[in-house]
Structure 1
Amino acid sequence: MSPRSEISQAKRLVVKVGSSSLTGVDGGIDSARLVALVNALARQHLEGSQVVLVSSGAIAAGIGPLGLGARPRDLATQQAAASVGQGALLAAYTQAFGAHGITVGQVLLTVDDVTRRTHYTNARRTLDRLLDFGVMPVVNENDTVATSEIRFGDNDRLAALVAHLIDADALVLLTDVDALYDGPPSRAGSKRIPLVSGPDDLADIEVRGSSSKVGSGGMSTKIEAARIATAAGVVTVVTAADRVTQVLDGQDVGTLFLPIGVRGASRRLWLQHATTARGRLVVDDGAVTALTHRKKSLLPAGVVRVEGGFQEGDAVDVCALDGRVVARGLTNYSAKELPGLLGRSTKELARELGPEYEREVIHRDFLVVL
């Protein structure tokens, strides 16, 4: 099967659409654009694919009703616009998919839902169940209550994490540019890059940010999302929203990013790409060797310093003495509890403090070497 065919024949597919691809010049929802997208996804769904739509547009859809001239910059106004626009956006999707007999389910996620393990597991279970019911999940960031995550890259990174979350076969990132080019698309002589087989293919590419009045992403966020998805074994394509039918048919449009990782290693991929470190553990050279070469767990004896205010179960970076981040994992101790245990063996701690202290700082199953 060719990589392009993997898109058209994907059993599980995540499609992300940006604000600028859904809205008109006034910032409101462009019904014709939305219906065209829905028609393409509905056909894919009815042919047997399980499709998850990651849709921006809540903030953009609220611009018109609030009388704003452009996407607001301050957080409070962004949240107000999202509150007004989210309902309008979902109503439009409900009506458009309903014309095909497809039920829509809204899933609003925040960074915690893809970075904290219990939330992550619950989000995956919910999406799996919706797909089992034949529902079309429409995913968006919960912009009404989000803080810094509103600037997550116009949902591009979220879409890659959702593809990882549900073990998707393919990811389609729809934007207002038809492909990645080797220079600015408006520059004479710039050429489309049809295929990216690895990071080296992008070494000399000039990429600029967003020029959209309603979106927050740009081609750089698409490339970062593709990097996350392909590391999880998910073939990814970036193209314009008006070419969605062509890309779902497996035609040579947009830029195709080949997988560079293996699907299924969910826990470590999640730790590497989804988690946000809430502290740092500085370890000695022996611990670095044990973690990176011998695939061991991190024990209290190897930790020399604790930084940050993390809690038990939080993700933390593990650093060498020179400051290099060598791993990330979920700690079994809080930042307050850990300093009194440093440099001591688990057997010694168990004898002195009780058997519950005969445990690793980070178990190997919950640690990824970076």
Structure 2
Amino acid sequence: MGLKAKLEELKTKGLVDIQAADDQRQLNEIRVKLLGKKGPLTEVLRGMKDLSAAERPQVGEFANKIKTELATAIDQQLQVLDQKSLQQRLAHETVDVTLPGRQAQVGTPHILNQVIDDLEDLFIGLGYEVIDGPEVETDHYNFEMMNIPKDHPARDMQDTFYITDELLMRTHTSPNQARTLETHDFSKGPLKMISPGRVFRRDNDDATHSHQFNQIEGLVIDHHVTMADLKGTLEVVARHVFGDEREIRLRPSYFPFTEPSIEVDISCFACGGKGCSVCKHTGWIEVLGAGMVHPNVLRGAGVDPVEFGGFAFGLGPDRFAMLKYGVNDIREFYQNDLRFLHQFQREVK
């Protein structure tokens, strides 16, 4: 059998095999078998060395034509298989668009954020500004501007994360008050602000303490501000958070940045002041500290303490949430246990 006849036979058999291929893997094996270096087409062409010089060009041209026909047939079959595969996938992945959709889960703010947002709304309604500030603070604003010099024993009350001798993680949000007090223009009106945010202290983590917690501090500076103004403000806060029946009492205390200083208790919301395990049978629950701004704090910010005065207070949203919702361990707020957090879901408007 001559080379041309062998090539013609090879083409005929190859076209049949190509048409019979059911998938891309099988088609690729046929491509390698027919057109590869060790395939029958190459093997036939090796016999060209035995042809005369006149026959070689004719057979070579014929061989290239067959090679092109086979390659074209393979490409066409590949397109057919691709289309077939696509149709199978479309049939398998068909979606019934008339079916009702799956309802997406909508999150809700963390319970601590809910408490903070609620208090912010309350104070904004009372005419306060919400002032934010850096969590990495300087010793100057965190302590010295708060009437706590480097040798003051009150620093022992606030175990501090120091980054350098001057930089630290703020132990309270009071530095925001100092910064704002320095720049406030009293010719445009009084200063009424709250400073919410995270604070950091090197506390042992237990049921009532954490190395990180939230704080909201408030500051009011104006002419003729009195302790009565402070008491009235704190009554509004206590009744807003814990109920309209709540009463408050003020007890003398000590803070370096206020004078006089007070601790604030609310009548127990669990027993109505009769005495129970929540209030340790006293009828009262301690909730925050406050006082009249110390003259040294005003002087440090360039404010005349003879002309201006005011009050400051600091409350813990974490503690408020623990008391309001009966949470016994502050660490629950930070462990991201959905079983715990789902108890405080609210409707998202």
Return the TM-score normalized by structure 1. 0.19
Question: Which of structures 1 and 2 has the bigger CA Rg?
Answer: 2
Return the TM-score normalized by structure 2. 0.20
More helix by share: 2
